[in-house]
């Protein structure tokens, strides 16, 4: 992946670097998995006749600061009832800290973004 990025002229770090894009992708994937677990169904897959009327309600943008990638803009999903409490990037959290290190560590071990998201949903 790094070699392919270099061939395309992408920097690994910096404002539009590969690390920033990867961090954004992993965080947004993990947040989407969290809201799926919270709501109990995939996007647009709610069961007819279910007890809850809580569904996805778009997203809001948020900028978090990563030690490795700098400022990263992410989209945090919302639910209609306002009961969704994200864990990977908590409400009012601006610094990534440990999450940043975990993402880099898991990526360095060769995990895909899907596998990293699955790992985050387990923990």
Residue 9 structural domain: 2-43+53-122
Would you say residue 105 lies in a domain?
A: yes
Give residue-wise pLDDT tens across range 12-55: 666 667 778 888 888 999 999 999 999 988 887 777 777 778 88
Which residues are within 8 A (CB) of 56 and not within 5 positions of it... i.e. 6 or more apart? 35, 39, 43, 77, 78, 79, 80
Would you say residue 116 lies in a domain?
A: yes
Model-wide pTM > 0.75: no
Q: CA–CA separation, 93 vs 4, rounded Å?
A: 33
Would you say residue 48 lies in a domain?
A: no
Would you say residue 6 lies in a domain?
A: yes
Would you say residue 91 lies in a domain?
A: yes
Q: CA–CA separation, 1 vs 48, rounded Å?
A: 42
């Amino acid at each position: 992946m790094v070699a392919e990025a270099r061939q395309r002229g992408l920097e690994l770090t910096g404002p539009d670097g590969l690390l920033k894009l990867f961090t954004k992708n992993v965080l947004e994937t993990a947040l989407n998995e969290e809201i799926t677990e919270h709501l109990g169904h995939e996007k647009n897959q709610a069961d007819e006749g279910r007890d809850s009327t809580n569904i996805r309600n778009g997203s809001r943008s948020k900028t978090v600061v990563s030690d490795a990638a700098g400022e990263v803009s992410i989209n945090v999903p919302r639910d209609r009832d306002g009961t969704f409490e994200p864990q990977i990037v908590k409400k009012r959290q601006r610094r990534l800290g440990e999450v940043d290190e975990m993402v880099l560590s898991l990526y360095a071990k060769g995990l895909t973004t899907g596998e990293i998201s699955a790992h985050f949903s387990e923990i």
